Amino acid sequence: MKNSITVLGIQADLVWENPKENIAFFENKINALKQRIDLIVLPEMFTTGFTMSPKKVAEKMDGFSVSWMQKIATEKGIAICGSLVIAENSNYYNRLVFVHPSGKIETYNKRHSFTLADEDKTYTSGREKLIINYKGWKICPFICYDLRFPVWIRNTNNYDLLIFVANWPQQRIKAWKTLIKARAIENISYTIGINRIGIDKNNNKYSGNSVIVDSLGKNISTLKNNKSGIVEAILNKRDQNNIREKLGFLNDKDHFKIY
């Protein structure tokens, strides 16, 4: 178990529906890293952008992109995660894939489909949360629109780190900034939110604003608008546990079931 882990997120301008070009970009960024990293986080649909044409780009779990993630994880001795379009059992999923340094894979299917873009008509939504145990940390990942639904995200599993990967548009970026902090504060959890930049094929503009915040909502690492780059932080679980013990807010949470 590690008391501290180093997490890093990569903010990028995604090339529309072009997995090989996007992966080449991320691989170059990762290969250029000099520091020791425990976990790398990539944006939502990092191989394609937020496409509603899954037939063009969907991959299997043993396909090019997931195999690349396993290659990076095992060669670099790190964990890596991000979401991509997966075809499985005649369905399409916006699926977050988390790959451990061993090559082991864990997955989370986006629960809240973005109806404004007809994602609910295109992709099958998930039904299960994922709690990843990694180096003694409990990590809970979500995808973009999930950020707006605090009941689903509520810290009933005593997780230590929240992850949000996104293609969150510039016109609603104030909500992104506000909700990232809100989810961190109400769940007393480190939170990393990785968004994209650029303009996609549907003329949606993205300004990034990727961020890592602590369990009190304080920014630890941020990126400027419309700039590619990284956010990076060393997270300390002992410090966070001390805050939880001192405040005791999670002891008073409601108990409920989600159907």
Q: Which two tokens stand for residue 110?
A: 């986006």
Q: Are 196 and 44 in contact (CB under 8 A)?
A: yes
Catalytic annotation present for 237? no
Angle, CA 47 vertex, CA 14 and CA 229 arms, to 5°: 45
CA 77 → CA 45, 84, 159, distances in Å?
Answer: 23, 22, 23
Catalytic annotation present for 81? no
Catalytic annotation present for 104? no
Among the options 17, 29, 59, 144, which is catalytic? 144
φ, ψ for residue 126, nearest 5 deg: -85, 170
Among the options 59, 81, 106, 110, which is catalytic? 110
**Calpha distance 61→48 (Å, rounded):** 16
The helix (run of H) or strand (run of E) holding residue 66 is helix 64-76
Q: Which two tokens stand for residue 227?
A: 């700039």
**Calpha distance 44→41 (Å, rounded):** 10
**Calpha distance 259→257 (Å, rounded):** 7
Task: Indicate which residues carry an active-site annotation.
Answer: 44, 110, 144
